[in-house]
A and B are shown apart, each in its own frame.
Chain A
Amino acid sequence: AQSVTQLDSQVPVFEEAPVELRCNYSSSVSVYLFWYVQYPNQGLQLLLKYLSGSTLVESINGFEAEFNKSQTSFHLRKPSVHISDTAEYFCAVRRNSGNTPLVFGKGTRLSVIA
C-alpha cells in the first residue's frame, strides 16, 4: 500500500516570493509521483509527474519538483509565485506497473498575497 503526507495544509506567500510545498510518500513498491492542482470549483489538473529518468521535472508554468528516493520526497517549488497560482495542490503516487488508482495527500492550499 502507498501513503502520501503533505506536511503543510496552508501556505500563505507574497506575490513574487519563492514557495515550496512539501510532499513525502511511503510505499513498499516502486511508484510514479504526481502533483495535481485544483482551482476553486474545478476538477484536478495534472501539473507535473515523475515516471523515470531525471529526478527534476518541470511544468510549463514555472513549477518544478525533485524526486528524492532516499528521503522519499517529491517537493514542489516555484521561484516566484503569481496571484494566479492561488489554488489547492495535491501530491499523489501510484504503483509504477499497470494503470492503477492514485493515492492522494490531503492537499496544501497555496494563497498568494498581493
Chain B
Amino acid sequence: DAGVIQSPRHEVTEMGQEVTLRCKPISGHDYLFWYRQTMMRGLELLIYFNNNVPIDDSGMPEDRFSAKMPNASFSTLKIQPSEPRDSAVYFCASSSSGSGNEQFFGPGTRLTVL
C-alpha cells in the first residue's frame, strides 16, 4: 500500500506566485483532510472532504486559498497569490468511514514563499 501521496515534497516560490499542492489519498478512503503546520500555530485543519464534497472549510485562512477534490483519488490545495506568511508544511490525511478510524498522513509539502 503506497499510503497518502503528496507532491511536491518541497516548493520554493516568490511572493505573488500561484502555488498548487497535490494529494492522492489511500484507495478506498472517503475522507480527506488538509492540515497546515507552522511554528507559531502548530497543526491546524484547513478543510476536509467527505465523498469529494467539502464539509468544513472554516479553517481556510482567506480567499487566496482554495481546495478541490474532483474525484476520489485526487485533491488540490491552491494558493493564489502566495505570501511569505503562507510558508509552512502542508499535510494531507485520509481515512475511511467509521468514527474511530485512523487518519493516515502523507509526508507533507514544505512550502517556502520568498
List A residues at the B interface (Cβ < 8 Å): 32, 36, 41-46, 49, 51, 90, 96-99, 101-107
Q: A101 touching B100 by the CB < 8 A rule?
A: no
Instruction: Please count how many residues in chain B sit with their CB below 8 Å of the partner chain's CB atoms.
Output: 26
- The listed residue (B100, B101, B105) touching A45 by CB distance below 8 A is B105
- The listed residue (B56, B95, B103, B107) touching A42 by CB distance below 8 A is B107
- The listed residue (B31, B102, B107) touching A43 by CB distance below 8 A is B107
- Chain B residue nearest to A106 in the complex (CB): B42
Q: B101 touching A99 by the CB < 8 A rule?
A: yes
- The listed residue (B56, B99, B100, B103) touching A102 by CB distance below 8 A is B103
A106 / chain B contacts, CB cutoff of 8 Å = 42
Q: B99 touching A44 by the CB < 8 A rule?
A: no
Report B1-47 residues with CB < 8 Å from chain A CB.
4, 31, 33, 35, 42-45
- The listed residue (B56, B102, B104, B107) touching A101 by CB distance below 8 A is B56
Q: A51 touching B102 by the CB < 8 A rule?
A: no
Bound CA span A43–B108, Å: 6
CB distance from B113 to the nearest CB of A (A): 19
Q: A99 touching B98 by the CB < 8 A rule?
A: yes
- The listed residue (B31, B42, B98, B102) touching A104 by CB distance below 8 A is B42
A43 / chain B contacts, CB cutoff of 8 Å = 4, 91, 105-108
Q: List, sorted by A's number, 12 A–B pairs whose CB atoms are closer than 8 Å.
A: A36-B105, A42-B107, A43-B108, A44-B105, A45-B105, A49-B100, A96-B99, A99-B98, A101-B33, A102-B33, A102-B103, A104-B43
Which 8 pairs from chain A and chain B are nearest by CB?
A43-B105, A104-B43, A44-B105, A101-B45, A106-B42, A51-B100, A43-B107, A99-B31
